Amino acid sequence: MVAPIRVAVTGAAGQIGYASIFRIASGEVFGPNQPVILHLVEVPPVLKALDGVHMELDDCAFPTLAGVVKADSDHLEDGFRDCNWVLCVGSIPRKAGMERGDLIRVNGPIFTSTGRAIAAAAAPDVRVVVVGNPCNTNCLIAMKNAPGVPSNRFYAMTMLDQNRAASQLAQKAGVPVGAVSNVGIWGNHSATQYPDFYHAKINGRPATEVITDHAWLQGDFISTVQKRGAAVIAARGASSAASAANALLDTVKGIIRPTPAGSCFSAAVCSDGSYGIEAGLITGFPLVSDGQQVSIVQGQTHTAFAQSKIDITINELREERECVKDLLG
Ligand code: NAI
């Protein structure tokens, strides 16, 4: 009998949480033979709604769902006890008139207690994926408040940006999205991110050979990916949810499954100084996994154009860190 793994999802009754947990429970991520115990965490006023979500999970009768634990955000250690994965979705979304700096100060404190509870209660092999925005800096706060948990267990989600970029490249080239690979997202999950088309491939060929409209690659392609979240809000009247949940699951799959040869997946991890990026910053990099360990793709070279984009987004990460320096443990 395979021992169950425990997966905590904060903000489990919110848009992204709700769109994620049924797919995790179904066996899609960890496989049909791996039982999963879901730990659903919400703020106290939302616990009643969480009871309804729990009923729906029961009503799906997923053979892979081995149990459900519910906890409130005032008792995070109960929520994270023995968890192998902590998926940090719960946070306050940006409201009209709120500046990015305001959001950092509102959500930052959530991640100090998150980090402490992970260190105190989670399983020794815990891996943490932060979705709640600003996700790079929230991830940095959680990591700094989780002494004893290795820094290479912390990820912030840039997979939605990767998927958006791949989709744009495929549409421009007139190919199925499955033909696009090796799209790395550098820096911050924000409007300064750099989606790297220079190393992207389409049917195994450099995207820059297949797409000859380089003005589009350097201009509209980048800005479309950078501003896609705002475009979805403008059209849908609500922020990306199903696509964000899908990207969260893709992130976990990217970590636990070997990366196909010659490709990469995107997440922000603690910089080890690769590419001259300050060590310790939670930075989007192209990554590869061997199914156990994740590492930053080495040896890529960047044009002056690409480097200037990377510099902008790294500077923004430094500014965000400055904003929360009192929360860094
Ligand atoms: P939502 O408002 O629908 O759900 C958030 C949930 O978190 C709510 O149910 C709320 O009660 C809960 N929550 C708030 N504070 C909490 C706490 N301290 N502990 C546990 N739960 C808490 O928001 P949605 O759409 O699900 O988005 C969640 C976050 O994901 C937002 O910060 C959003 O900006 C971010 N996001 C990140 C993306 C990425 O690519 N990294 C993409 C899309 C959204």
| Cα–Cα distance measured from residue 270 to residue 28, given in angstroms and rounded to the nearest whole number | 27
From 189, 199, 214, 302, active-site residue: 189
pLDDT of residue 151: 98
* Model-level ipTM above the cut of 0.90: yes
pLDDT of residue 101: 78
| CATH 3.90.110.10 domain locations along the chain | 159-325
The model's pLDDT over 60-103, given as tens digits with 9 standing for 90+, comes to: 999 999 999 999 999 999 999 999 999 999 998 777 677 777 88
Residue pair 259/182 in contact by the 8 Å Cβ criterion: no
With bands split at pLDDT 50, 70 and 90, how would you rate the model's confidence at 183? very high
| CATH 3.40.50.720 domain locations along the chain | 5-156
With bands split at pLDDT 50, 70 and 90, how would you rate the model's confidence at 269? very high
CA of residue 188 to ligand 1 center, whole Å: 18
Q: Dihedral sign, CA of 183, 187, 191, 192?
A: negative
Pocket lined around ligand 1, Cβ cut-off 6 Å: 10-11, 13-17, 41-43, 46, 73, 89-93, 110, 131-133, 135, 157, 160, 189, 239-241, 244
CA of residue 303 to ligand 1 center, whole Å: 36
The pTM of this model reads 0.98
Q: What is the CA radius of gyration of the chain?
A: 19
Residue nearest to atom 9 of ligand 1 (CA): 14
Residue pair 124/150 in contact by the 8 Å Cβ criterion: no
> In this predicted model, which residue has the larger pLDDT, 92 or 250?
250
pLDDT for residue 22 is more than 90: yes
Residues 6+ apart with CB under 8 A from 74: 44
| Cα–Cα distance measured from residue 242 to residue 168, given in angstroms and rounded to the nearest whole number | 18
Q: Dihedral sign, CA of 315, 185, 26, 289?
A: negative
Tokens describing residue 123? 């399983």
% of the chain residues with pLDDT over 70: 99
CA distances from 285 to 16, 93, 132, 171, 182 (A): 23, 25, 19, 24, 11
Ligand 1 atom nearest the C-alpha of 11 is 7
CA of residue 50 to ligand 1 center, whole Å: 14
pLDDT of residue 47: 97
Active site residue 39: no
Tell me whether residue 94 is annotated as binding. Answer: yes
To which residue do tokens 């305001």 refer? 102
Task: Tell which CATH architecture fits domain 159-325.
Answer: Alpha-Beta Complex (3.90)
Name the class of domain 5-156: alpha beta
The model's pLDDT over 100-140, given as tens digits with 9 standing for 90+, comes to: 778 899 999 999 999 999 999 999 999 999 999 999 999 99
Between the two ends of the chain, the Cα-to-Cα distance in Å is 41
